[in-house]
Amino acid sequence: MNDYLTPMTDVILRNSGTVDKYMGDAIMAFWGAPLPQEDHAVRACRAALEMERTLKETQRTWDKPGIPRLVSGIGLSTGKAVVGNMGSSTRFDYTVIGDAVNLGSRLEGLNKEYGTNIIVPKYTYLAAQEEFAFRELDFVKVKGKDLPIKIYELMGDKKAVVELKEFIDLFETGLKAYRAKAWAMAEEYFGHVLELRPEDGPSKVYLSRIKVLRDAELPDYWDGVFVMKTK
């Protein structure tokens, strides 16, 4: 565990993040405090991508002694939060709380649903879209929230935008067709995505949903929102 948490922590600190706490094999970190950072969303995205690269490198060293491979999921969220010393009069921690923090935790868990590694909400996407490659992933209600939110997958840095353009365009065209209930067209485009990346989790998720939804009686005003039942 130390061999995993140490390089991950180093990446966060190298990108000017604040490590909040360790929760088993999970790390909670934040940006923008204790010192303000105008580019906090960009720093967080950069750290997330570097953590993914570092994990892949670490996995190669673990292959020789036969250590099981770890698969990580990262949820990033941007918004207002309360930061400071919190706890009791005898014991407290410097930490961060708020809806934005809770959302980040929910998004981390959604990686299991889509087979992705890094998920961000609309707010983080808007703050960092010029610096990274994203694809729109879904329109969801996460557990414990009443309002739906668009979520995105962080796929790479600025250099990856051109490389991933065809892939992202095909997926997002399929997503538009899905929301328009044009099931056959959506299946066609998600199929094209899988030709480029046979293991693409989100495309498989949508193809599975379409099998159920095409026979369902959906209202005319259906907006494609998917309600998550688990954290």
Q: Tens of pLDDT along 113-161?
A: 999 999 999 999 999 999 999 999 999 998 777 789 999 999 999 999 9
> pLDDT: is 126 or 71 the higher one?
126
Tell me, what amino acid is at 159?
K
Q: With bands split at pLDDT 50, 70 and 90, how would you rate the model's confidence at 231?
A: low
Write the CB contacts of 200 (distance below 8 Å, at least 6 apart in sequence). 115, 171, 193, 194
Residue 211 pLDDT exceeds 70? yes
Residue 63 pLDDT exceeds 80? no
Mean pLDDT taken over the chain: 93
CA of residue 15 relative to chain centroid, distance: 18
Per-residue pLDDT averaged across 93-108, rounded?
95
What does the angle CA 225 – CA 228 – CA 231 come to, to the nearest 5 degrees? Answer: 150
pLDDT of residue 1: 83
CA of residue 106 relative to chain centroid, distance: 10
pLDDT of residue 65: 67
Q: H or E segment at 83?
A: strand 82-87
Residues 163/207, Cβ–Cβ less than 8 Å: no
